[in-house]
């Protein structure tokens, strides 16, 4: 059962049969439109964000499987903060604000990819990304929130 794997970075819910998907899968004799349809169904919740997608194809039976990754932490923060992009001058200029609940939500989504053991550690990584993007957390500078987490102020939310 020879299998081939392909990795694509697609915009959530907006994959097309054109390159790179069509040119990679077409020569294998797959129904590319069917694959694109499945990808769009699986990535619909990430509309407007770039999502990694892995397509595994059995070249004998023409069966395929789709595995959808998650967008980057930065992309999830941009979506939650409703900003176009991060600050060009982080630390001095802030372009948005997200709630601590949004930080925890992003941390839960990305936890399998972050190589951390606790929600607290995952949340601290998300806030670290906020630092480099110029995004405030609950209206405060992200570094201040990190100090508050270390002091135990958010233990009730983070469960540690």
Which of 68, 84, 110 marks a domain boundary?
68
Residue 136 and residue 86 share a domain: yes
Residue 45 and residue 77 share a domain: no
Which of 14, 45, 68 marks a domain boundary?
68
Rounded CA-CA distance 75/148 in Å is 25
Q: Domain residues for 49?
A: 3-68
Kindly report the CATH number assigned to the domain that includes residue 46: 3.30.1550.10
Instruction: Give strand ranges (E) for 39-148.
Output: 50-58, 64-68, 96-98, 135-137
User: Mean pLDDT, to the nearest integer, of 28-33?
Assistant: 91
pTM score = 0.79
Q: What confidence tens digit (pLDDT) does each residue in 101-139 have?
A: 999 999 999 999 999 999 999 999 999 999 999 999 999
Residue 143 and residue 80 share a domain: yes
Query: What share of residues in the chain are helix, strand, coil (percent, to 5)?
Result: 45, 20, 35
Q: In total, how many domains does the chain have?
A: 2
CA angle 60, 22, 32 (to 5 degrees): 55
- 98 touches 137 (CB < 8 A): yes
Closest by CA to 143, choosing from 113, 160, 151, is 151
Q: What confidence tens digit (pLDDT) does each residue in 45-55 have?
A: 888 888 999 99
pLDDT of residue 2: 86
Total count of residues recorded for the chain: 160
């Amino acid at each position: 059962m020879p299998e081939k794997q392909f990795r694509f970075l697609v915009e959530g819910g907006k994959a097309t049969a054109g390159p790179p998907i069509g040119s990679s899968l077409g020569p294998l004799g797959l129904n590319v439109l069917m694959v694109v349809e499945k990808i769009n169904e699986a990535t619909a919740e990430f509309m407007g964000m770039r999502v990694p997608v892995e397509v595994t194809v059995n070249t004998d039976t023409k069966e395929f499987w789709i595995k959808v990754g998650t967008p980057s932490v930065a992309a999830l923060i941009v979506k939650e903060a409703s900003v176009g992009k991060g600050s060009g001058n982080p630390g001095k200029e802030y372009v948005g604000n997200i709630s601590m609940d949004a930080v925890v939500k992003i941390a839960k989504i990305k936890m399998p990819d972050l190589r951390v053991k606790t929600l607290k550690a995952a949340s601290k990584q998300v806030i670290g990304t906020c630092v480099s993007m110029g995004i405030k957390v609950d209206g405060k500078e992200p570094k201040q929130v990190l100090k508050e987490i270390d002091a135990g102020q958010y233990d009730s939310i983070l469960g540690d």
